[in-house]
């Protein structure tokens, strides 16, 4: 994808269409809106005055330009709500709305005017990232009624701004947006296509393309490491498990001896195992590897952005299926750490594979771990599809991560993790059990993971409620969202900057 940052006047922009942000109560009496209003013979004034266009978030008004004095032939106004509430989330959504609306009108080159204050490099990154996210559609396997129209170029236009800063921001937005879309593409793949082996192969391709180190452990190696918790989930399937380990190492040695590890749940299809899920909507369980896909997408982005700290990515991948070999409720599994686990419900499998993956990240030297998983249905009851739950043992890490999310327009909400919740996962016949009853399901699942994250700075993201979007919105298709990729990249780059200071 070709992306450009330009500080030229709007009437010099050579693009098929121009998309411009408009705010509630705004009148086109100065700046770019005044220029555009003149180009459409004061039609903008007319639709605002008549209240046909109120500039509510996601609202649009579309014009064809003839004899306007502009090079562009089409104009799209995008409502962005109150000017005082216009932040990274709204800027990103404005970019996505521009993409989805104008692509449907066969525009191949789109100039976006975000009209945001502040750091122009950051604004360019945010709006182009949102525009790239708007390109994704889940119709990969359709043979008809498929969106085949392509956008060839995006321009982000901020008149009078630093051209180099705009271009840097546009390029960063492209990298991050494309990497999030890689995550979304994997999450959208049917379980019959994206097996653990195929997921490992895709990770290898990304590592080779962008210069990451990679190691993929097979079943024998996993067995040798004593990962009985991970293997207890995979043994119901004929597909062999894979443990994907990706490593980014900066060109220059850093001062810090610390190592950040990203760990993501990779259940490429989750039937629930012997504790079989209801059949309704089970097809969506192809997305249960979104945590692992998030790790891979994030590693793809940082390999190109090149922060100054090393990052480890660990993704345990397997299927959770019922068979004569499958783990049964009441079975005891022994994790890599030696801790024993009573399996109460085989559909609480994500925490079982993450337990061994977190332990392995520690074995590889991780001093800080962020894990992510479509872990619990309970998180959707608590937070819906608006905020992603974050919990952990390091408050500074949690606060920093939430702040990074605000900077890129992703929302995270901290849930408590008091020691009392651990009482719910105590087992009568083993060290712990894998479910703690109906109460506080998201928290007790995290309390389980906490048992394996001792000794390191650690946070957990439960993305079960936010990794899939339904219905479609003006700025995003229905389906995988790629949530947390942008925040993880921002957090890593902030950590690198702090380490360098």
Cis amide bond preceding 295, omega within 30: no
Instruction: From 135, 148, 140, 66, select the one nearest 101 (Cα to Cα).
Output: 135
Which is the catalytic residue, given 100, 115, 351, 476?
Answer: 351
Answer yes or no: are the C-beta atoms of 59 and 90 closer than 8 Å.
Answer: no
Question: 209 has which bridge partners?
Answer: none
Tokens of 198: 């195929």
Which is the catalytic residue, given 34, 73, 277, 339?
Answer: 277
Q: Output the CA torsion sign for 494, 498, 500, 501.
A: positive
Residue 436, SS3 per DSSP: coil
Instruction: From 19, 491, 21, 6, select the one nearest 260 (Cα to Cα).
Output: 491
Determine the Cα–Cα distance for residues 53 and 409; give it in Å rounded to an integer.
Answer: 25
Tokens of 416: 């408590």
Q: DSSP labels for 199-260?
A: HHHHHHHHHHHHT-EEEEE-HHHHHHTT-HHHHHHHTTSSSPPEEEEEEE--SSPPS----E
Q: How far is CA 155 from the centre of its chain?
A: 24
135: left (phi over 0), alpha (psi -120 to 50) or beta: alpha
Q: Which helix (H) or strand (E) holds 109?
A: strand 109-113
Asked if 351 is an active-site residue, the reply is yes
Q: How far is CA 322 from the centre of its chain?
A: 30
Q: Which residues contact 198 (CB under 8 A, 6 or more apart)?
A: none
Instruction: From 210, 146, 204, select the one nearest 178 (Cα to Cα).
Output: 210
Answer yes or no: are the C-beta atoms of 390 and 460 closer than 8 Å.
Answer: yes
Tokens of 91: 């800027």
Q: Which residues contact 42 (CB under 8 A, 6 or more apart)?
A: none
Q: Which helix (H) or strand (E) holds 497?
A: helix 485-500
Please state, in angstroms and as integers, the Cα–Cα distance from residue 436 to each residue in 196, 379, 422, following that order: 29, 15, 8
Tokens of 340: 């024993």
Determine the Cα–Cα distance for residues 44 and 34; give it in Å rounded to an integer.
Answer: 9
Residue 64, SS3 per DSSP: strand
Asked if 277 is an active-site residue, the reply is yes
Answer yes or no: are the C-beta atoms of 265 and 291 closer than 8 Å.
Answer: yes
Instruction: Return the half-sphere exposure (C-beta side, CA atoms, 13 A cut-off) of residue 443.
Output: 17
> How many other C-beta atoms are found inside a 10 Å radius of the C-beta of residue 79?
21
**Residues marked as catalytic:** 277, 351
């Amino acid at each position: 994808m070709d992306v450009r940052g330009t500080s030229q006047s709007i009437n010099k922009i050579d693009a098929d269409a121009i998309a411009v942000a408009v705010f509630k109560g705004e009148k086109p009496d100065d700046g770019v809106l005044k220029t555009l209003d003149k180009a459409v013979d004061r039609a903008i004034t007319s639709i605002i005055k008549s209240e046909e266009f109120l500039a509510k978030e996601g609202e649009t008004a579309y014009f064809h330009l003839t004899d306007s004095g502009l090079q562009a032939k089409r104009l799209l106004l995008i409502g962005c709500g109150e000017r005082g509430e216009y932040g990274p989330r709204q800027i990103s959504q404005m970019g996505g709305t521009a993409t989805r609306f104008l692509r449907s009108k066969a525009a191949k080159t789109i100039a976006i005017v975000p009209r945001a204050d502040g750091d122009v490099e950051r604004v360019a990154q945010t709006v182009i990232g949102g525009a790239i996210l708007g390109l994704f559609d889940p119709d990969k396997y359709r043979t008809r009624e498929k969106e085949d129209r392509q956008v060839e170029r995006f321009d982000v236009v901020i008149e009078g701004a630093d051209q180099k800063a705009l271009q840097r921001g546009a390029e960063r937005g492209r990298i991050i947006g494309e990497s999030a879309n890689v995550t979304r593409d994997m999450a959208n793949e049917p379980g019959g296509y994206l097996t653990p082996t195929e997921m490992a192969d895709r990770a290898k391709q990304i590592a080779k393309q962008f210069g990451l180190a990679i190691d993929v452990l097979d079943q024998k190696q996993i067995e040798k490491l004593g990962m009985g918790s991970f293997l207890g989930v995979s043994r119901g399937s004929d597909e062999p498990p894979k443990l994907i380990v990706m490593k980014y190492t900066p060109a220059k040695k850093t001062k810090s001896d610390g190592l950040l590890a990203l760990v993501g749940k990779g259940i490429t299809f989750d039937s629930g195992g012997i504790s079989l899920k209801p059949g309704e909507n089970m097809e969506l369980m192809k997305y249960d590897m979104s945590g692992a896909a998030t790790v891979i997408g994030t590693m793809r982005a940082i390999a190109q952005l090149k922060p100054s700290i090393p990052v480890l990515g660990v993704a345990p991948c397997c299927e959770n299926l019922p068979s004569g070999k499958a783990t049964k409720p009441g079975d005891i599994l022994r994790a890599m750490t030696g801790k024993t686990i009573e399996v109460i419900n085989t559909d609480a499998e994500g925490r079982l594979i993450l337990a061994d993956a977190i332990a392995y990240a520690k074995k590889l030297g991780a001093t800080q771990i962020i894990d992510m998983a479509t872990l619990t249905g309970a998180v959707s009851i608590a937070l819906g599809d608006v905020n992603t739950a974050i919990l952990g043992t390091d408050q500074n890490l949690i606060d920093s991560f939430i702040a990074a999310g605000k900077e890129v327009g992703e929302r995270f909400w901290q849930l408590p993790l008091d020691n009392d919740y651990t009482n719910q996962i105590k087992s009568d016949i083993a060290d712990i059990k894998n479910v703690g009853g109906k109460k506080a399901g998201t928290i007790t699942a995290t309390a389980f993971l906490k048992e394996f994250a001792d000794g390191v700075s650690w946070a957990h993201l439960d993305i079960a409620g936010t990794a899939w979007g339904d219905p479609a919105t003006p700025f995003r298709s229905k389906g995988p969202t790629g949530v947390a990729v942008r925040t993880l990249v921002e957090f890593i780059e902030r950590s690198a900057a702090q380490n360098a200071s």
